[in-house]
Amino acid sequence: MAQIENEVYKVLSTTVAITALVSTRIFPAFTPQAANAFPVLVYEKTGGSRINSLSGYTGLQNPIIEINIYAERTTTLQAVSTVVLAAMDASTTFDSYALDEPFDSYDDDVEIKTRTLTFSVWNQG
C-alpha cells in the first residue's frame, strides 16, 4: 500500500473540480516560495495511530491529514474547501471524515487568507 500522503495527493490532483480551481498548485507540507499564484493547497500528515489488537498490528492506520487552502478571497476559500471535502468523502482508496469545522485565518506576512481542513483517515497500511 502506498503512503497515505501519496493517496491524498492522488485524490486531490485527479479531482477535476479541484484542479479547475487550483491547477497543479498542490504541495506536500509547505508552499514553495516561488508559488505566487493562488489558490494553493498544502497537505500533510500531522499525527494518527496504527491500530493494534492483542495479536499485534492489524494493518489499519488512522492518520490525521491537514489540508490548508491559501487564497486571496473568502469566496475562493469556500469554493475550494467545498470540492476538497467532497473529494475526500468520495475517495475509494481510503475512508475519511472531517474532524472539525474549517478554521479560517489571515497571514499578515503575505496578505493571504487561509482555511484549514482536518481529516481523520482510515486506510489499510
Total structural domains within the chain? 1
- Average pLDDT in the chain: 92
Structural domain of 85: 4-124
As to burial, measured by CB atoms within 10 angstroms (0-12 exposed, 13-18 middle, 19+ buried), residue 85 is middle
State the pTM of this model.
0.91
Q: pLDDT band for position 50 (50/70/90)?
A: confident
Listing DSSP states for 78-95 in one string gives HHHHHHHHHHHHH-SSSE
> Mind listing the pLDDT tens digit for each residue in 54-95?
999 998 999 999 999 999 999 999 999 999 999 999 999 999
Cβ proximity of 44 and 65 under 8 Å: yes
CATH code where residue 31 lies:
3.30.2000.30
Name 18's Cβ contacts closer than 8 Å, sequence gap at least 6. Answer: 12, 26, 41, 80, 83, 84, 87
Cβ proximity of 60 and 124 under 8 Å: yes
* C-alpha–C-alpha distance, residues 52 and 82, integer Å: 34
> Mind listing the pLDDT tens digit for each residue in 14-23?
999 999 999 9
Count the residues in the chain: 125
